[in-house]
Amino acid sequence: MKILPHEEVICDEQSMVIENLTKQYANNVVLDSLSLTINTGEIHGILGRNGVGKTTLIECAVGLKSFNQGSIKIRGLNILEDRDKIIKHVGIQPQEANLFPRLTIMETMELFSSFYGEILSYHNIVEMLDLDKIKNKRVNSLSTGQKQRLLVALSLIGNPSLIILDEPTTGIDPQIKQLIWQVLNKMKSQNKSILLSTHNMEEAEKICDRISILHDKKIILTGTPSEIINKYRKTKNDTLEDVFLLLTGTTLRGGMD
pTM here is: 0.90
Q: From the CB of residue 69, how many other CB atoms can be counted at a distance below 10 Å?
A: 11
- Helix/strand/coil percentages in the chain, nearest 5: 35, 25, 40
Region of residue 94 (phi > 0: left; psi between -120 and 50: alpha; otherwise: beta): beta
For residue 164, is it within any domain? yes
* Structural domain containing residue 216: 2-248
Domain count, the chain: 1
* CA distance linking residue 62 with residue 55, whole number of Å: 11
**Coil/strand/helix, residue 102:** coil
For residue 111, is it within any domain? yes
For residue 221, is it within any domain? yes
For residue 60, is it within any domain? yes
For residue 255, is it within any domain? no
pLDDT per residue of the chain (257 residues) written in tens, 0 to 9? 232 332 333 445 899 999 999 999 998 999 999 999 999 999 999 999 888 999 999 999 988 999 999 999 999 999 999 988 888 889 999 877 789 999 999 999 999 998 888 888 988 999 999 999 999 999 999 999 999 999 999 999 999 999 999 999 988 999 999 999 999 999 999 999 999 999 899 999 999 999 999 999 999 999 999 999 999 999 999 999 999 999 998 776 555 54
**Coil/strand/helix, residue 256:** coil
How many helices and strands, by DSSP H and E, does the chain display?
9, 12
* CA distance linking residue 148 with residue 197, whole number of Å: 14
For residue 237, is it within any domain? yes
For residue 257, is it within any domain? no
The enclosing domain of 166 has a CATH number of 3.40.50.300
For residue 38, is it within any domain? yes
Report how far apart the first and last C-alpha atoms of the chain are (Å, whole number): 44
